[in-house]
Amino acid sequence: MCGIIERAGKFLSARRGPGRSNAGLWEFPGGKIRSNETAEAALIREMREELGLIISVTAGLPPNRYSYPWITIELIPYICTIVRGEPDLREHMEIRWVTIQEAQVLEWAPADVSVLKDYCAYKIRF
């Protein structure tokens, strides 16, 4: 699952740290769902662990499946807001608050490209 964290007309993009798959590429932060968790609960936990944030989920987007040569993943995106905290770089090398237009020039991890497209379409509708 992954989180699209919105604030003041922008959303949070996170650049993957060195030594990780897709290092240096931008992504929506998130992680794996544990066997005893819902996707939303996993996202809340991951945002606390990865970024030190307490979030609130406001909407969901369609899941996206992507196959890398080494793994197939399913991203379940949720739009969220920060309840408490400021992003802390624990696993990422950089974060940016970007508009949809600014996001277009970032080099996104391949699995996150479809999520970005779905988010753009969602924002146009609302």
Judged on CB neighbours under 10 Å (0-12, 13-18, 19+), 92 is buried
Q: Judge whether residue 124 has pLDDT over 90.
A: no
Higher-pLDDT residue of 19, 96: 96
Statement: the pTM of the whole predicted model exceeds 0.75: yes
Q: For 85-98, what is the mean pLDDT? A: 95
> What does the mean pLDDT of the chain come to?
96
What backbone torsions phi and psi does residue 61 show, to the nearest 5 degrees? -120, 165
Domain 2-125 bears CATH identifier 3.90.79.10: yes
